[in-house]
Amino acid sequence: MPLTRLDVRDATGVVTLDHPAKRNALSRALVDEVIAALDDFHRRRLRVAILRAAPGAKVWSAGHDVDELPESGRDPLGWDDPLRELIRAVEQFPAPVIAMVEGGVWGGACETVLACDLVVAAPSATFAITPARLGVPYNIGGMLTFLNAANLRIAKEMAFTARPVDAARAERVGLVNHVVAADELEAFTFALAGDIAANAPLSIAVMKEQLRILAGAHPMSPQGFERVQGLRRLVYDSRDYREGIRAFKDKRAPRFTGE
Ligand code: LCV
């Protein structure tokens, strides 16, 4: 049973996340389908990709599949983690990817939406950065995604509180490009895609890659990277990390002790 639905309209490819039973959690299986779809759109030389949930979705995506997170002792967001692969696939897709958002966007799904080139949201959309809710040590590339999408103060507030930001505030602080009434969301997003598709695809592809390289150009010494990795290891080896995962699975509030 596929976890996504695909559609092509003119030069635009659409991937609809369609695993409502698990709130479109970014499992290995679902992510592999999204990446395969983007590869197919690339082969077909489509000029825009749209990532969306089913119309009227209350949850766009609940983020990383928590059932696939290691209980402890291993980096939960390593290079070959499905979420990391999805982010790279979105960033390296050689045409604009538009996130069309209705409903709640959580954790790694929030990073996925913010890694898209444009975000068009319905008023029902909310955006939450959740590592602190689970006790997870987010990875440095992911933190850069948040920093590039918001200013430092907004990124800190979202990361430290783990509270959802609503669409109106997301637009005010520049997290999303447009907030559009739910019944106009599709038409608006496809019109935006049409505007892009009518322009020169090679020029757009190069500008997207230039901006990806420039946005990622942050100096970090090998010592600095090793320090970050050491700090992250302390977190994913901690009791709090195990408690966060366990509490989620037990459907109860976590009790963090700072150990
Ligand atoms: C697996 C799930 C999930 C899920 N994984 O429906 O950014 S980081 O570092 O945190 C990163 C590691 C990350 O992205 O972690 C995940 C962060 N996500 C969240 O904190 C959101 C967790 N989910 C929720 O708070 C609720 O599910 C929302 C508010 C999204 C939807 O609530 P609702 O009442 O509509 P349920 O909670 O009843 O979920 C329906 C089913 O989906 C599963 C959940 O366990 C339940 O499964 P069962 O029917 O088997 O009980 N589910 C939801 N989210 N991220 N599974």
Domain ranges of the chain: 4-182
Predicted local confidence at residue 71, as pLDDT:
85
Predicted local confidence at residue 131, as pLDDT:
98
Supply the DSSP symbol for 61.
Answer: E
User: What are the average pLDDT values for consecutive 10-residue runs of the chain, which has 259 residues?
Assistant: 96 98 98 98 98 98 97 92 98 98 98 98 98 97 96 97 98 98 98 98 98 95 96 96 97 97
Chain centroid to Cα 165, Å, comes to 15
Supply the DSSP symbol for 124.
Answer: T
Asked whether 250 lines ligand 1 (CB < 6 A), one says no
Predicted local confidence at residue 128, as pLDDT:
98
Q: In degrees rounded to 5, what are phi and psi of residue 220? A: -145, 125
Predicted local confidence at residue 243, as pLDDT:
97
Asked whether 108 lines ligand 1 (CB < 6 A), one says yes
The yes-or-no answer on residue 104 being catalytic is: no
Q: Rounded to whole angstroms, how far apart are CA atoms 210 and 217?
A: 11
Q: Is the pTM of this model over 0.95?
A: yes
The single-letter code of the amino acid at 12 is T
The secondary structure element, H or E, covering residue 202 is helix 201-215
Minimal CA–CA distance to 129: which of 103, 99, 155, 152?
Answer: 155
Q: How many other C-beta atoms are found inside a 10 Å radius of the C-beta of residue 101? A: 31
- Residues 131-162 pLDDT 10s: 999 999 999 999 999 999 999 999 999 999 99
Q: Rounded to whole angstroms, how far apart are CA atoms 83 and 27?
A: 8
Q: In degrees rounded to 5, what are phi and psi of residue 12? A: -115, 130
Q: Which atom of ligand 1 is nearest to the CA of 134?
A: 10
The yes-or-no answer on residue 64 being catalytic is: yes
Do the Cβ atoms of 230 and 238 come closer than 8 Å? Answer: no
Asked whether 136 lines ligand 1 (CB < 6 A), one says yes
Taking all residues of the chain, what is their mean pLDDT, rounded to a whole number? 97
The secondary structure element, H or E, covering residue 249 is helix 239-249
Q: Which atom of ligand 1 is nearest to the CA of 108?
A: 14
Q: Which architecture, in CATH terms, is 4-182?
A: Alpha-Beta Complex (3.90)
Minimal CA–CA distance to 158: which of 141, 175, 135?
Answer: 175
- Residues 38-61 pLDDT 10s: 999 999 999 999 999 999 999 999
Do the Cβ atoms of 118 and 88 come closer than 8 Å? Answer: no
Supply the DSSP symbol for 256.
Answer: -
Asked whether 59 lines ligand 1 (CB < 6 A), one says yes
114 Cα–ligand 1 center, Å? 19
3-state secondary structure of 13: strand
Tokens 């090793």 -> residue: 226
Minimal CA–CA distance to 90: which of 78, 81, 80, 99?
Answer: 99
The yes-or-no answer on residue 138 being catalytic is: yes
Mutate to test the pocket of ligand 1, among 66, 130, 232 (most ligand atoms within 8 A of CB): 66
Asked whether 81 lines ligand 1 (CB < 6 A), one says no
